[in-house]
Chain A
């Protein structure tokens, strides 16, 4: 009986349903101080002076910190160190923090924050990404020389020739909006100066190692002088990286200067104002197609508003570039991508990481093209989609894993009865008040970091003398169930019961720096490391017990909490084997290191093996549109994703549903609105995320094709589920109203009373 794949087990579920789990704000420390950030009303301005004296004299205030108090580096970042711990030379967006007040209570800190004044010289604000590129535009970072954060390109084949071969050339412009992660738990940090000189950091952040890097840079101490303790986190979705790490860094600075534990608990409005968002995109897309439905060429220009700091804009836009043609084989591609600085909210990582924007474009373009050619969207996709052995637009041959594009598409068509329902779509015509539509979208997605970065992960298995097991992996529990997945993989590989395994409280001091838990890399990279550690451990155990089992070490097997000799003739309880190891001076300890297989990238041509493996997904949605009001009601949603291997089935389903729900918000409700660079919807009453009644019943179809390059067989699920429902909804809206929606969120006014002139050929 294997543990994996069968249960919804979570190591933290009991604590979470009883209220016993301690999130960062729930932790208590003696003599705890409280901090509050200070913002200015400005959007773009040169700072002359930050006046803190009045705040410092306020009751209960111990100190007001500004950039001058930072002993190490005030500038941090994952790619370019342009993110400020405290605004120093300029205010670059309305969420910049100029100071932090530390007081005996949070209320006193918040009250005094209003007394900090910023003397400044206002500058023209750049709020439009196109205008940011114009000559003479104000520069967000003068020393950078321009507002271009980065560029990427793809040059494949001969685009001019491709368009010459085309029978139709279609060109459209698309826009996507700025959205907020809206994790339920706002940013929070508690930092405790320890007697051994180490700064202990608890925080709601999803990247303990990058947090440690930011804290150590800010304090000017070595990495070993900071210990970031894994703390249950109330959601991240990619959003608790730079900003959350900087909240930790400021809090650590306060704790260091005052020699007392300090907590910074964010209010929702601070969180929305300061934290980075998903990039708004503007995309111009040209597609050439032949009468037989083959795509002959794609030319596209992608413009991403990166906001005031670099964050991970170059990486986000790289994924957009690599996946700019969706899961389709295109011989001739010309893509230019630009990330730009503006004085808008910072944009960074968010679930999907550059793919939700592009899929909104591509999955509508293929339907527009199909209609032009006169075949169904499904048939058009089939004629162009990647198959086993296909070569991607970056020249990568897909032959190291099962290419499951057709499999997931078929699964969704079957489950929904798609073709029959498509024939019933209103296309703007309906006898009643409601228009009906069904739509789908599909994608492939490169797993993990790809050529974005160094990809390696470690896991430590430390078996105790009584046979109980401590496990720690360099991936972070973001709420998704990473620890449980790691424990399930370990239990299965070691042939032991789950009850034997305890995931130890994670700490940056306990396991090698394994990078960040992003890019849906947790299960594939962490699971790979756990599998390798378990194999190393089994080798050590086998060598220790093979004499007693009277067989060579290579014949020893592990199952049912026991160690078995050849053909199971002799057996030893797992606990007895461990006892024997300790008695014979062999320690049952293993560290597994999984290195991602080689990837490659040529910046000049945009060609290379971008990712070492890919996942495939398809989603469909049914909806109605109220003719009078334009209100969209979702009736059902179905998703099929190849996840490699489902380690924890209920949790995998949870990733499906959560990703799809978030995508409905992206499609229909969510938008960070701003006026003159100041965000106006700063709380959850005005920033509307999906509620239970907004969502339809959803169906998850888990497709499993274990990946030979993943030691555990598992691939990814977190982001793929979030990247295609918006275009599926857009396609369904078209099938309902007969009108295309080129901008997100989709806001329909009253639907047209008359049917569109052209009869739709489905």
Chain B
């Protein structure tokens, strides 16, 4: 079974397909950006992108993403560690506090901005409504996404989709 994660092809035994996807990413690939927080798809902390669509993976199996393009937060920055403009906006606008929801938020926002690079603030709120944050009140997260939107206009801003060189 073939997986495509952050720009890399990974071949896994068919039996692995039955494993919980979040466990496989976190334990086997050490991609710990996706978090366990509710186990029922209610909070969004485990969100990744599959073919640029957000997916809450705490309730998914490895086989569910076989053959598809998987992006985790670890694939957002450039191989040299340079932040993606969306990540930079999160840092600069104070959108990060405890950071537990941050990977899911960034990925959901990325998928949203790829489709809608000229969003209103209400549209941004709607896009992240399935991802819970208890620290920020979302205000600066919305600010960050709004600011980063400019980078998605005209030239696309794909994630780098590769492991950072020094990861």
Which residues of chain B in 88-117 are interfacial with respect to chain A, using CB atoms and an 8 Å cutoff?
90-94, 96-103, 106
Instruction: Name the B residues within 8 Å of A478 (CB-CB).
Output: 98
Shortest Cβ distance from residue A728 to the other chain B in the assembled complex, whole angstroms: 15
Q: Is the CB of A654 within 8 A of B38?
A: no
Q: Is the CB of B36 within 8 A of A25?
A: yes
Instruction: Name the B residues within 8 Å of A268 (CB-CB).
Output: 37-40
Instruction: Name the B residues within 8 Å of A481 (CB-CB).
Output: 97
User: Which residue of chain A lies nearest to B43 when distances are taken between CB atoms in the complex?
Assistant: A684
Residue A155 is within 8 A (CB to CB) of chain B in the complex: no
A182 to B122, CA, bound (A): 25
Asked whether A182 and B136 contact (CB < 8 A) given A17-B102, A650-B94, the answer is: no
A698 to B77, CA, bound (A): 30
Partner of B139, one of A25, A684, A691, A698: A698
User: Which residue of chain B lies nearest to A649 when distances are taken between CB atoms in the complex?
Assistant: B94
Q: Is the CB of B94 within 8 A of A654?
A: yes
Partner of A19, one of B33, B36, B93, B94: B33
Partner of A657, one of B32, B37, B139: B139
Partner of B99, one of A21, A657, A662: A21
Which residues of chain A in 469-524 are interfacial with respect to chain B, using CB atoms and an 8 Å cutoff?
478-481
Q: Is the CB of B134 within 8 A of A10?
A: no
Interface string of B58-83 (1 = CB under 8 A from A): 00000000000000111011000101
A: number of interface residues (CB 8 Å): 57
Instruction: Name the B residues within 8 Å of A183 (CB-CB).
Output: 98, 100, 134
Q: Is the CB of A660 within 8 A of B164?
A: no
Asked whether A683 and B93 contact (CB < 8 A) given A28-B30, A185-B98, A654-B140, the answer is: no
User: Which residue of chain B lies nearest to A654 when distances are taken between CB atoms in the complex?
Assistant: B94
Partner of B83, one of A14, A237, A691: A14
A697 to B124, CA, bound (A): 12
Which residues of chain A in 4-30 are interfacial with respect to chain B, using CB atoms and an 8 Å cutoff?
8, 10, 12-23, 25-26, 28
Partner of A17, one of B36, B83, B131: B83
Interface string of A697-708 (1 = CB under 8 A from B): 110000000000
Q: Is the CB of A19 within 8 A of B45?
A: no
Binds B, one of A228-236, A403-411, A566-574: A228-236
Which residues of chain A in 648-702 are interfacial with respect to chain B, using CB atoms and an 8 Å cutoff?
650-651, 653-654, 656-662, 683-685, 689-693, 695, 697-698
Partner of B101, one of A28, A184, A660, A698: A184
Instruction: Name the A residues within 8 Å of B124 (CB-CB).
Output: 692
Q: Is the CB of A235 within 8 A of B42?
A: no
Shortest Cβ distance from residue A106 to the other chain B in the assembled complex, whole angstroms: 9
A183 to B26, CA, bound (A): 21
Shortest Cβ distance from residue B140 to the other chain A in the assembled complex, whole angstroms: 6
Most buried by A among B74, B91, B96, B135: B135
User: Which residue of chain B lies nearest to A13 when distances are taken between CB atoms in the complex?
Assistant: B91
Partner of A18, one of B36, B74, B122, B135: B74
Instruction: Name the A residues within 8 Å of B132 (CB-CB).
Output: 184, 684, 689, 691
Asked whether A695 and B138 contact (CB < 8 A) given A8-B92, A22-B32, A185-B98, the answer is: yes
Instruction: Name the B residues within 8 Å of A685 (CB-CB).
Output: 38, 40, 42
Partner of A8, one of B93, B103, B139, B164: B93
Partner of B42, one of A654, A657, A660, A683: A683
Asked whether A692 and B43 contact (CB < 8 A) given A18-B74, A25-B36, A235-B134, the answer is: no
Q: Is the CB of B83 within 8 A of A184?
A: no
Q: Is the CB of B140 within 8 A of A653?
A: yes
A653 to B90, CA, bound (A): 14
Asked whether A13 and B96 contact (CB < 8 A) given A185-B35, A691-B129, the answer is: yes
Q: Is the CB of A657 within 8 A of B136?
A: yes
User: Which residue of chain B lies nearest to A265 when distances are taken between CB atoms in the complex?
Assistant: B36
Asked whether A683 and B164 contact (CB < 8 A) given A184-B45, A654-B94, A658-B97, the answer is: no
A25 to B30, CA, bound (A): 12
Instruction: Name the B residues within 8 Å of A691 (CB-CB).
Output: 129-130, 132, 138
Instruction: Name the A residues within 8 Å of B74 (CB-CB).
Output: 18-20
Instruction: Name the A residues within 8 Å of B49 (CB-CB).
Output: none
Q: Is the CB of B140 within 8 A of A232?
A: no
Partner of A10, one of B45, B87, B91: B91
Q: Is the CB of B102 within 8 A of A16?
A: yes
Shortest Cβ distance from residue A478 to the other chain B in the assembled complex, whole angstroms: 7
Residue B57 is within 8 A (CB to CB) of chain A in the complex: no
Q: Is the CB of B96 within 8 A of A16?
A: yes
Partner of B98, one of A28, A186, A233: A233
Instruction: Name the A residues within 8 Å of B137 (CB-CB).
Output: 654, 656-662, 690, 695, 698
Residue B128 is within 8 A (CB to CB) of chain A in the complex: yes
A594 to B70, CA, bound (A): 50
Residue B142 is within 8 A (CB to CB) of chain A in the complex: yes
Shortest Cβ distance from residue B166 to the other chain A in the assembled complex, whole angstroms: 10
Shortest Cβ distance from residue B53 to the other chain A in the assembled complex, whole angstroms: 19
Partner of B129, one of A13, A234, A654, A693: A693
User: Which residue of chain A lies nearest to B45 when distances are taken between CB atoms in the complex?
Assistant: A184
Residue A267 is within 8 A (CB to CB) of chain B in the complex: yes
A10 to B126, CA, bound (A): 28
Residue B162 is within 8 A (CB to CB) of chain A in the complex: no
Residue B167 is within 8 A (CB to CB) of chain A in the complex: yes
Q: Is the CB of B134 within 8 A of A237?
A: yes
Q: Is the CB of A692 within 8 A of B129?
A: yes
Q: Is the CB of B136 within 8 A of A654?
A: yes
Residue B153 is within 8 A (CB to CB) of chain A in the complex: no
Partner of B93, one of A650, A658, A684: A650
Instruction: Name the A residues within 8 Å of B73 (CB-CB).
Output: 17-19
Instruction: Name the A residues within 8 Å of B38 (CB-CB).
Output: 268, 683-685
Shortest Cβ distance from residue B77 to the other chain A in the assembled complex, whole angstroms: 5
User: Which residue of chain A lies nearest to B124 when distances are taken between CB atoms in the complex?
Assistant: A692
A8 to B81, CA, bound (A): 20
Q: Is the CB of B87 within 8 A of A184?
A: no
User: Which residue of chain B lies nearest to A651 when distances are taken between CB atoms in the complex?
Assistant: B94
A28 to B30, CA, bound (A): 9
Asked whether A18 and B77 contact (CB < 8 A) given A26-B26, A654-B135, A692-B128, the answer is: yes
A689 to B136, CA, bound (A): 13
Interface string of A242-273 (1 = CB under 8 A from B): 00000000000000000000000101100000
Residue B31 is within 8 A (CB to CB) of chain A in the complex: yes
Q: Is the CB of B42 within 8 A of A684?
A: yes
Q: Is the CB of A662 within 8 A of B91?
A: no
Q: Is the CB of B138 within 8 A of A185?
A: no
Instruction: Name the A residues within 8 Å of B92 (CB-CB).
Output: 8
Instruction: Name the A residues within 8 Å of B100 (CB-CB).
Output: 23, 183-185, 234-235, 479
Instruction: Name the A residues within 8 Å of B121 (CB-CB).
Output: 697
Q: Is the CB of A693 within 8 A of B126?
A: yes
Ordered by A's residue number, 28 sampled pairs between the chains whose C-beta atoms are within 8 Å are: A18-B73, A18-B77, A19-B31, A19-B72, A19-B103, A21-B99, A22-B32, A25-B36, A184-B100, A185-B98, A235-B97, A235-B135, A478-B98, A480-B97, A651-B94, A654-B140, A657-B138, A684-B37, A684-B38, A689-B132, A691-B132, A692-B128, A692-B141, A692-B142, A693-B122, A695-B139, A697-B121, A697-B139
User: Given known contacts A17-B73, A653-B140, what 20 new A-B pairs fall within 8 Å (CB)?
Assistant: A13-B96, A16-B99, A17-B96, A183-B100, A184-B35, A185-B98, A234-B100, A268-B37, A268-B40, A480-B135, A654-B136, A658-B134, A659-B137, A683-B39, A684-B42, A691-B138, A692-B124, A692-B131, A695-B137, A697-B139
The 9 closest A-B pairs by CB, nearest first: A479-B98, A19-B33, A661-B137, A234-B100, A650-B94, A16-B99, A657-B137, A19-B73, A26-B32
Binding site for A on B (CB under 8 A): 26, 30-33, 35-40, 42-43, 45, 72-74, 76-77, 81, 83, 87, 90-94, 96-103, 106, 121-122, 124-126, 128-142, 164, 167
